[in-house]
Structure 1
Amino acid sequence: MKLFVAAAVAAGLLSASPAFASAELAKAKNCMACHAVDKKLVGPSYKEVAAKYAGQADAAAMLVTKVQKGGVGTWGKVPMPPNPQVKDDEAKQLVEWVLSQK
């Protein structure tokens, strides 16, 4: 199915929506190894993250830093490792997508 969708996007038959593109980016950057949209895995679900930071003006910038540099303590004792392979623009796109999961 993914191959069909990718081929359809490439052919111009479908547009790659930001939500689809961000979900694919999250998979490509291995975010989904520890997180899921709607259930806790190693880390919190994206819906939990969106709910926790809803309405906080500085949340996106703080989360971009956390994605790239890691952190510990906000969600318990299990640390989130740093992800230096995630570029600034990718981290911003991922965080915007996570915060939109309501």
Structure 2
Amino acid sequence: MKRRVGFVAAMLTVSALTGAFTSSARAADAPRGQVVANSNACMGCHAVDRKLVGPSFQQVAAKYKGDAQAPAKLARKVKDGGAGVWGMIPMPAHQSMSDADIRSVVDWVLAGAPAR
């Protein structure tokens, strides 16, 4: 019986480690902008393909398609927050996000928020 408990414990450990590696591998496969968006609560108000509290990232990409000023406009909007473009619910400011992280998210969104 002691042997069986040890084996089960070993298998659970391997399973947990495999799950951690799989989870890390999926995060590594995701575009940097998506990883940053996931880690900064962007997905609490936005989804890739459907409106939640705010517009979907694909709606944002479509609205700003062809606008050369879009990266700067959206970066400023993420940093400072705002309201009125997509309705009356304000987007909070994200002052603690680094400019590099904001650029990663904005570039990813403007590319249509691709999964890879």
Same fold (TM over 0.5): yes
**1:100 alignment partner in structure 2:** 111
Output the CA distance in 2 between the equivalents of 1:52 and 1:73: 14
Output the CA distance in 1 between the equivalents of 2:20 and 2:96: 24
Moved runs in structure 1, 4+ residues, more than 3 A? Answer: none
Identity %: 44
**1:85 alignment partner in structure 2:** 96
RMSD: 2.1
- CA contact under 8 A between 2:33 and 2:106: conserved in structure 1? no
**2:62 alignment partner in structure 1:** 51
SS in 1 for 2:76: helix
- Structure with larger RCO (C-alpha < 8 A, sep 6+): 2
One-letter code of the match for 2:35? E
User: What is the TM-score when the length of structure 1 is the normalising length?
Assistant: 0.83
Task: Report the CA distance shift for 1:17/1:80 in structure 2 as closer, same or farther (over 3 A).
Answer: same
**Structure with bigger gyration radius:** 2
**1:12 alignment partner in structure 2:** none
**Structure having the larger proportion of residues in helix:** 2
- 1:51: Cα distance to partner? 0.1
> How many equivalent pairs are there?
95
The correspondence of residues 1-102 of structure 1 with structure 2, limited to 5 A, is: 3-6=21-24, 8=25, 16=28, 19=31, 21-101=32-112
- Structure 2: give runs of 5+ residues left out of the alignment: 1-18
User: What is the TM-score when the length of structure 2 is the normalising length?
Assistant: 0.74
One-letter code of the match for 1:45? S
1:45-90 deviation digits (Å, cap 9, x = unpaired): 0000000000000000010000010011000101101011211010
